[in-house]
Amino acid sequence: MNIDEPGPWPDSQVRALSVAKYRKRAAGYDATCGPTWPIRERTIAALHLQPGQRVLDVGCGTGLSLPLLRQRVGDSGWVYGCDQSLEMLGLARARVAAAGWTNVTLFETPAQGLALPAPVDALLLHYTHDILRSPSALERLLAGARPGAAVAIAGIKFFPRWLAPLNLWVYFKNHGYNGAPGALRTPWDRIAPRLSDWRLTPTQYGMGYIAQGRVAATTGLGTDPDPATADPTDRH
């Protein structure tokens, strides 16, 4: 078993595996999110959203982040969300309907097929590991954001080397949710070179991370690609 980077698997296979897993998890998903709620709040805060802005919640799931995002962009802004899981998105739609929000639009689609009506000012990727590993998904998402748009990411990663014996547990924890659960040493390494002002902060004793940057004005590298290939908790 290769826990570093299994595959490469086609996007269609990864998506099918993920959809099947979330079909089983959707009903009880919200109850599992308490321990990572502070991480969600910190990641959204890292976007520095302003009233009137447009923000996309990538892989929005049951919509737990939607009220936090809407609170920040206000009635004059707009919140978009996308998810490929019918069951998860159904719960998000119920949340929107119950709240009576008129400036939240949800799309049932994988990130690879998302078509936004207007460029967004910010992208939130909260525990979206499969999307971060898909070049075609990242290409579509970054194309839908204006140059300079804020990007904030939270996710799971392997512990630093001195805690390496725990990483098999981390892999199987990720396996429960994602279609391609490997590549946990530097899971951000496909998006970081596409962003400027890249910063990464470890969380959960090195098992998680919050990262932020801005969509680069060109399709080339950001200002400093070096952080894309390094885990700051894994220094010798």
User: Of all helices (H) and strands (E), which one includes residue 87?
Assistant: helix 86-99
Q: Structure pTM?
A: 0.90
pLDDT in tens, 131-142: 999 999 999 999
In angstroms, the Cα distances linking 8 to 12, 17, 143, 193 are 12, 14, 24, 20
Complete domains list, the chain, with CATH: 11-222 (3.40.50.150)
The confidence band for 230, taking pLDDT boundaries of 50, 70 and 90, is low
In angstroms, the Cα distances linking 55 to 121, 128, 236 are 6, 16, 38
Q: Which residue has the tokens 């391609």?
A: 180
Cβ neighbours for 117, distance < 8 A, ≥ 6 positions apart: 105
pLDDT in tens, 54-85: 999 999 999 999 999 999 999 999 999 999 99
